[in-house]
Amino acid sequence: MTLMPNEIRQPDRRGFLGLVGAGLALAATPAWALDTNEARALIQTSLDEVYAVINSGQPPAQMYRAFEAIFARYADVEIIARSALGPAARQAGAAEFADYRQAFQGYIGRKYGKRFREFIGSKIEVTGARPVKSFYAVTSVAYLKGRSPMEVEWHVSDKSGKSRYFNIIIEGVNMLASERAEIGAMLARRKGDLAALAADLRQAG
């Protein structure tokens, strides 16, 4: 009983194609690429750090600096600051932009940090992650005292070269869109003067 050549070749060819396919898949997915697990882990770690600060009981001013450091570590501050500034970011000089970016980072740490009391005794559970367009959306649910559970979504990207989140969406309310409106209004008040905006940001939040 000899096998027909066809019957031998078929599985072989499939095996070969399979190997090529696997090789291509490996080549297309570099080892550092962001995946759902990594995106999820990034948000979990940053939340753990935020809660460690909230539960530390240190004075508020110290907490705001700690929140700012966590924000700088896990968020893509560069793209958030750039997007919040809008078209004006393209006209800004490098040094001028860097100064604004630094002021923006401190402003975010204070503005959102100020709300830490609402999070005492609360928890945020990371529930899942999924790819969206060119980035990942990590979903979580916030259980705050005396409020019904809130959906919180984090958008994570590795486009900056590192895995960082660049937007937080709480029950549909988008941090990036909200800061665009706010920074836009602050810049308009200063008639487009970026240095004056940076100075205002250092007082705000």
Partner 1 sequence: MLLFVTAILAACSADRGAEGINDPYEPVNRKIHAFNRGLDARVVKPLGAGMAGEGDDGLGSHALEAVGNFGSNLALPGKAANHLLQGRPAPAVRTSFRFLVNSTLGLAGFLDPAGKDFALPEEDTDFGETLAVWGMGEGAYLELPLIGPSTTRDAAGRVVDLVLDPMRGWLNRDQYLIGIGARVASKAGERGRFGDSVDSILHESADSYAQTRLIWLQHRRHELGEEGEHIDPYAE
The residues of the shown chain that bind partner 1, judged by CB under 8 A, are: 79-80, 82-83, 111, 114-115, 117-118, 132-135, 137, 145-146, 148, 155, 157, 159, 166-167, 171-174, 176-178, 181-182, 185-186, 189
Q: What is the identity of the amino acid at 54?
A: I
Q: Minimum Å distance from CB 89 to partner 1? A: 10
> What one-character DSSP code corresponds to residue 118?
G
Q: Minimum Å distance from CB 115 to partner 1? A: 6
Q: Minimum Å distance from CB 109 to partner 1? A: 14
Which of 82/101 has CB closer to partner 1? 82
Which are the contacts of 60, defined by CB distance < 8 A and separation ≥ 6?
113, 114, 116
How far is 130 from 76, CA to CA, in rounded Å? Answer: 19
Q: What is the identity of the amino acid at 158?
A: D
Which of 8/33 has CB closer to partner 1? 33
Q: Coil, strand or helix: which one is 40?
A: helix
Q: Minimum Å distance from CB 10 to partner 1? A: 44
Which of 10/178 has CB closer to partner 1? 178
Which of 8/173 has CB closer to partner 1? 173
Helices 60-74 and 94-113 pack at an angle, to 10 degrees, of 130
Which of 10/91 has CB closer to partner 1? 91
Q: Minimum Å distance from CB 47 to partner 1? A: 20
Which of 11/87 has CB closer to partner 1? 87
Identify the burial level of 35 via C-beta atoms within 10 angstroms of its C-beta, where 0-12 means exposed, 13-18 middle and 19 or more buried.
Answer: middle
How far is 131 from 56, CA to CA, in rounded Å? Answer: 34
Q: Which two tokens stand for residue 204?
A: 């705000």
Q: Minimum Å distance from CB 4 to partner 1? A: 54
Cα-Cα-Cα-Cα dihedral sign, residues 49, 55, 61, 62:
negative
Q: Which two tokens stand for residue 31?
A: 């080892």
